[in-house]
């Protein structure tokens, strides 16, 4: 069973769970994504052990938020709950400047989580370290912002209202702070309301204070609605001495589906096939591809080449994108995949300036 709750402000997401335990008498309750205490809006709640097992399907769904930014000031927490500092240099951006800046924040990108967040550093939550004045040094995370809509800008009150459609893991507080930096006037998050999680919408949620022991069952969903299925494209290769040819290939592959999966050849497998080890070891190649921010899904392949098909079976790609010089018998590949019950489209992509951007050529010039 599931409940769509409209969370009020001034309480935590855990407070919502605690209250629902009292009302329903169910101990095993979870939710699909925390909202900060000052934030309001949609909280998808699972009731019972069986339902909480399905939360993994919901947590990674895209989300939509309505946010109000206060310009001309900053906050150490990036929101209104922190220590507010008025920007010394008075500067009021124009509507055109704001529109141009917002455009730069759409797409796949790296975002640094706030220091005052629940991210863990050596087993400790970042906000505990931040409160003690200790450095957090959180690593940037790959996120995707689909769209930012400008709803209202009031220069005389320094308030900017936007709607953000984004991937799971996006911190709207960090986005507010980053927008303030780009506008050169500072900004922090003043209000936040989550309006959707995947197919679930706030308009179908019930206010927490309206739920009672007598009526809670009538608001429950007995099962999840069909969840959006994202198409997947997978590609694999060595990606040694990562260069523009590789990057163009990956960007081209990404255009075939919603999600890009990259499988990196292990060092031992490269040596077995090519007779020598790659210049960059497998961990370096993994790190370089992750830092491109083209996708969350970058993995090392299996040492046993037959197990590569287990990876394909687990991912179940809609498309396999091959490089122009990958010597793979596409017919045999298709036949083997069909034994696993999957039949993705297999396509070969064009090379990007192979006379210049090719690993063997780049190695010869070093």
Domain at 81, CATH number: 3.30.2350.10
283 and 357 share a domain?
Answer: yes
Residue 107 lies inside a defined structural domain of this protein: yes
Does residue 45 lie in a domain region? yes
Q: Range of 277's domain?
A: 232-365
Question: Is the model's pTM score more than 0.95?
Answer: no
Asked whether 178 and 111 are in contact (CB, 8 A), the reply is yes
Report the pLDDT value the prediction gives residue 75, as an integer from 0 to 100: 95
> Is 86 within a domain?
yes
What was the pLDDT predicted at 334? Answer: 79
Same-domain status, 243 and 311: yes
Q: Total domain count for the chain?
A: 3
Q: Over the chain, what is the mean pLDDT?
A: 87
CA distances from 121 to 125, 128, 167 (A): 6, 10, 23
Q: Is a pLDDT exceeding 60 seen at residue 202?
A: yes
> Which of 73-77, 99-103, 224-228 comes out lowest in average pLDDT?
224-228
pLDDT at 22: 96
186 shares its domain with 202: no
Cβ-based burial of 159 (10 A; exposed 0-12, middle 13-18, buried ≥19): middle
Strand 297-300 versus strand 259-264 pairing type: parallel
Residue 141, beta-bridge partner list: 111
Supply the pLDDT for residue 121. 57
Residues 272 and 352 placed together within one structural domain of the fold: yes
Selecting among 15, 36, 62, 76, the annotated active-site residue is 36
- The 10s digit of each residue's pLDDT in 16-27 is 999 999 999 999
What does the alpha-carbon distance between residue 17 and residue 23 come to, in Å, rounded to a whole number?
A: 10
Residues 216, 24: contact at Cβ < 8 Å? yes
d(CA 40, CA 5): 10
299 and 210 housed in the same domain: no
Residues 239 and 122 in one domain: no
pLDDT > 70? residue 131: no
36: annotated active-site residue? yes
């Amino acid at each position: 069973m599931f409940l769509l709750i409209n969370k009020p402000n001034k309480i935590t997401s855990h407070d919502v769970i605690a209250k629902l335990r009292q009302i329903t008498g169910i101990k095993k309750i979870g939710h699909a994504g925390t909202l900060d205490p000052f934030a309001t809006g949609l909280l998808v709640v699972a009731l019972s052990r069986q339902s909480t097992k399905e939360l993994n399907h919901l947590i990674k769904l895209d989300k939509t938020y309505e946010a109000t930014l206060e310009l001309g000031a900053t906050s150490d927490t990036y929101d209104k709950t922190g220590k507010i500092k008025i920007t010394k240099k008075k500067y009021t951006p124009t509507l055109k400047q704001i529109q141009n800046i917002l455009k730069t924040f759409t797409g796949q990108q790296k975002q640094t989580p706030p220091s005052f967040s629940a991210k863990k550093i050596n087993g400790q939550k970042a906000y505990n370290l931040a409160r003690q004045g200790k450095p957090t040094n959180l690593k940037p995370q790959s996120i995707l912002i689909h769209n930012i809509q400008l709803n209202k800008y009031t220069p005389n009150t320094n308030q900017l209202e936007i709607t953000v459609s984004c991937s799971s893991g996006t911190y709207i507080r960090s986005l507010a702070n980053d927008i303030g930096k780009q506008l050169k006037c500072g900004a922090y998050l003043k209000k936040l309301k989550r309006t959707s999680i995947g197919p679930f919408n706030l308009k179908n949620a019930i206010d927490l204070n309206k739920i009672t022991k007598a009526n809670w069952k009538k608001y429950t969903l007995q099962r999840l609605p069909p969840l959006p299925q994202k198409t997947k494209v997978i590609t694999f290769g060595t990606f040694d001495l990562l260069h523009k040819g590789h990057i163009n290939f990956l960007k081209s592959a990404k255009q075939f589906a919603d999600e890009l999966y990259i499988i990196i050849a292990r060092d031992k497998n490269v040596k077995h096939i090519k007779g020598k080890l790659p210049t960059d070891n497998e961990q370096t190649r993994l790190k370089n591809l992750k830092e491109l921010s083209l996708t969350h899904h970058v993995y090392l392949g299996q040492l046993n080449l037959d197990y590569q098909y287990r990876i394909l079976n687990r991912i179940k790609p809609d498309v396999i994108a091959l490089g122009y010089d990958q010597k793979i018998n596409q017919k045999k590949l298709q036949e083997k995949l069909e034994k696993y019950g999957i039949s993705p489209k297999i396509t070969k992509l064009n090379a990007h300036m192979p006379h210049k951007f090719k690993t063997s050529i780049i190695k010869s010039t070093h």
